[in-house]
Amino acid sequence: MNKKVLLASLVIFSSHVPAAQIWMKGSDCDINESATVINVFRQHFDSITTLMGKEPRREQIETVATDLLDGVKRSLFEALIEKSEEQGRDLIIDKVVLKERLKDNGKLVAVSGRIFAYPVTACRTKTAITADNYEMITATAFSKKTHTVSSQITIDLNAKRAEQKVTQVKDTAITPTEVFGIALGDTFTAAEQQIGRFTLVWPVNSHQKLATIGRNHAFLFEHDKLVGYQYAFTLLPVALANLINIHDIDAKVQVEDESLAIINRPLSQHHVSALTARYAHVAFFQEGRYTKTPNTKLSELTIGRFHIDEPTTPPCYQGKTDIDLFIEQQQSHLIQWQDVEHKTILYTGCHQLMELNKLGKVTSVKLQEAWSLRNANLIGLASISQVLLPWQFYGISYLDPQSAASKLGKVERFYDTIEVAAPKWVGHFKAYEGQLVSAEFEKM
């Protein structure tokens, strides 16, 4: 941020004496009951310089974020003054929401602010917010009077429904009929009782459900019964695997009198022969095949019947209803997983990634390009991925021209990034050669 420009703007702005005033939350004011709430959003962001591809230090992030926060507060104050002068009335602040986020793989710090205010008919408070103390927009003036703005807090009485179960694989054995204590023929509910929770659950169609533990173990349920299991060294698309939680399991199989660990371990020719004899579907790969001492490792193992029937496309959010209502109605039909930060993620049928908070409410949405299936070995992956459609969002579609971003709200362009601010959403589209390819939005 250019501090000289900031200083100059403050000097210029402080010379202007506004006709109207901005009052802190809780000031002794009378609200104009017939007026609608004033909603103002501002966002500033700046890059972080790192050396040799290293992650930015926390001290760097805090320094940049502090400067940005000051700029956001100043911008919010200036915007309120403009609104106040447009209406010819003083304003009282009701609520301020400030957020700090790292974007672009930690290379960019973004600080956003949204402020809600009401026009007032009269105030008995002595000190107003001015260009000299604009940072006080987040402060509260305490008053003994009763003419203050009240805030309402909605408590979700069903909060317990979002309590997180933890994946705990205590039985690590694999046999031709049972995996981690889950037997072929067991119900999905019985399977979850055995391991706590699955990492990813994909309702493939009306009668089949795919579930994984971590990134390498897949279970296929048909009519609510386990019919097949697959282990693969590279099971999922890289773009998907990087998004879901890691759960390493030291899986073992019984080979003669030996309990043999088989995950990413060198196997002797004797072990390879024994596994091939016991399991109908097993494959191996050579690690370091061109070295003097190559290792043979397990690449895939399947038990039961693993066949995906014709898949159906999960629902896609079009923006026609409230997004939390969409989740409430469609959650059981969406792809769901736990990410590396143990947050609940929902994935729609048009590559929309939705992050939920602990109460099951949407906090952010990412619009993503299709996954590359290269080197992913999940049986039926090509079929179930093919039904996923390019993303859509409030009438904007994948590969639309950059100008389409304005359908959602007010836009500002920064090279190949288009910042969008709307009443319910704020975020950025990424563009390539003039076309929209991805986006990330926060719900306000």
Amino acid (1-letter code) at residue 222: E
pLDDT, average across residues 136-141: 78
pLDDT at 213 over 60: yes
Domains in the chain: boundaries: 3-138, 173-304, 323-443
Write down the pLDDT at residue 147: 37
pLDDT at 161: 40
| Cα separations in angstroms, 263 against 15, 36, 205, 437 | 70, 62, 30, 37
| Residue 182 vs residue 92, higher pLDDT | 182
Pairwise pLDDT comparison (59 vs 88), residue with the higher score: 88
Where b means 16+ CB within 10 Å and e means fewer, 21-43 reads bbbbbbbbbebbeeeeebebbbb
pLDDT-derived band at 210, boundaries 50, 70, 90 = very high
User: Has residue 2 got a pLDDT over 80?
Assistant: no
Least confident of 102-116, 146-160, 269-283, 372-386: 146-160
Any idea what the Cα angle at residue 256 is, between residues 252 and 258, rounded to 5°? 45
Span of 79-88, 107-116, 306-315, 418-427 with lowest mean pLDDT = 107-116
Model confidence at 22: pLDDT above 50: yes
Q: Give the pLDDT band of residue 142 (cuts 50, 70, 90).
A: low
The predicted model gives 185-197 an average pLDDT of: 96
In the Cβ-directed half-sphere of 57, how many Cα atoms lie within 13 Å? Answer: 4
Kindly report the number of other CB atoms within 10 A of residue 413's CB atom. Answer: 12
List the single range of 114-118, 183-187, 221-225, 233-237 with lowest mean pLDDT: 114-118
Nearest residue to 228 (alpha-carbon basis) of 306, 307, 309, 281: 306
Q: Is the pLDDT of residue 155 over 50?
A: no
Indicate if the pLDDT at residue 10 is higher than 50.
no
Decide if pLDDT at 172 tops 60: yes
Give pLDDT, residue 106. 58
Question: Could you give phi then psi for residue 160, rounded to 5 degrees?
Answer: -65, -20
**Band of residue 49 on the pLDDT scale cut at 50, 70, 90:** low
Please state, in angstroms and rounded to a whole number, the distance separating the CA atoms of residues 371 and 235: 13
Distant-in-sequence, close-in-space partners of 208: CB < 8 Å, separation ≥ 6 = 220, 221, 222, 308, 309
If one counts every other C-beta atom within 10 angstroms of the C-beta of residue 184, the result is 17
Does residue 13 register a pLDDT over 80?
no
Alpha carbon 246 to its chain centroid, in Å, reads 17
| Residues 346-356, mean pLDDT to the nearest whole number | 96
**Mean pLDDT lowest among 265-279, 303-317, 411-425:** 411-425
Q: What pTM does this model have?
A: 0.70
**Is the pLDDT confidence value at 184 over 70?**
yes
| Over residues 47-67, mean pLDDT | 67
Instruction: Determine the pLDDT at residue 304.
Output: 97
Between residues 10 and 334, the one the model is more confident about: 334
Instruction: Specify the range with the lowest mean pLDDT, choosing from 136-140, 166-170, 210-214, 336-340.
Output: 136-140
